[in-house]
Amino acid sequence: MKISVVTAVYNRRETLADAVVSLQAQTHDNFEHVVMDGGSTDGSLDVLRQLADPRMVLVSERDEGIYDALNKGMARASGDVIGLMHSDDVFASPSVLELVARAFEESSVDAVYGDLQYVSARDPEKVIRQWTSGLASPAKLKRGWMPPHPSLYVRKSVVDRWGGYDTSYQIAADYDAILRWFGLGRINARYVPEVFVKMRVGGESNRSVERILQKSREDYRALRTNKVGGIGALAWKNLSKLGQFRVR
């Protein structure tokens, strides 16, 4: 099974090498790495060229934001399955893609997902928040449940049929896509209870109160557009995160 891993990057020289190396260290080596660079000026392209191997497809051109870049990357993908690797994330272990491939091969599913850890930006070994996904269900989707986006792998046929990311969303296009795929598309997904990704804290959607409010507005629009839920689902979606934080 060939897995396409798509990365959208713009000026992430400090963390980019960790992401690429963690992919290249995977024991399942039948993958391609589609990297869409938005015209970085900080040396990110130099990092990519130094780490390039025959499995990397590197494109550097202006885009209209991360979701536009991801759409372009998915359009270029040639694998059976598509997943993401953000430029400041790393795989939790070298066996993640092997677990993904095995889950697809052992069952006729449309998607596979796992768990995610939020880690310190300075120390990826320091876990701040543990996102344990659990099994998917229509009822849970209506209560604001979603799998961690960076841990989700879908068959290319799902994207071809149900579409990629709606770029009218600035922050919540991933949530909209998940609601479309799991809700309207009713895709069959398999949960693997293993941490797939370590994500450094400080993401785009949570960097200010204004952005948090904007994300909530976009989440609500996604819920209503996909006819999955309303204000109750939005409230539970946010409240459910509280139990994920680790107190030390």
Domains and CATH numbers, the chain: 3-244 (3.90.550.10)
The pLDDT value recorded for residue 238 is 72
| 208 vs 76: CA distance, rounded Å | 33
Residue type, 74: M
Give the pLDDT confidence of 123-142 residue by residue, as tens digits: 888 999 999 999 999 999 99
User: What SS3 class is residue 108?
Assistant: coil
pLDDT digits (tens, 9 = 90+) for 172-200: 999 999 999 999 999 999 999 999 999 99
Which amino acid type is present at position 69?
A
pTM: 0.92
d(CA 96, CA 114): 9
Handedness of CA 89, 93, 94, 97 (dihedral sign): negative
Name the stretches of the chain with pLDDT < 70.
Answer: 203-208, 236, 239-248
Run of H or E including 49: helix 44-51
Gap between the Cα atoms of 4 and 76, Å rounded: 9
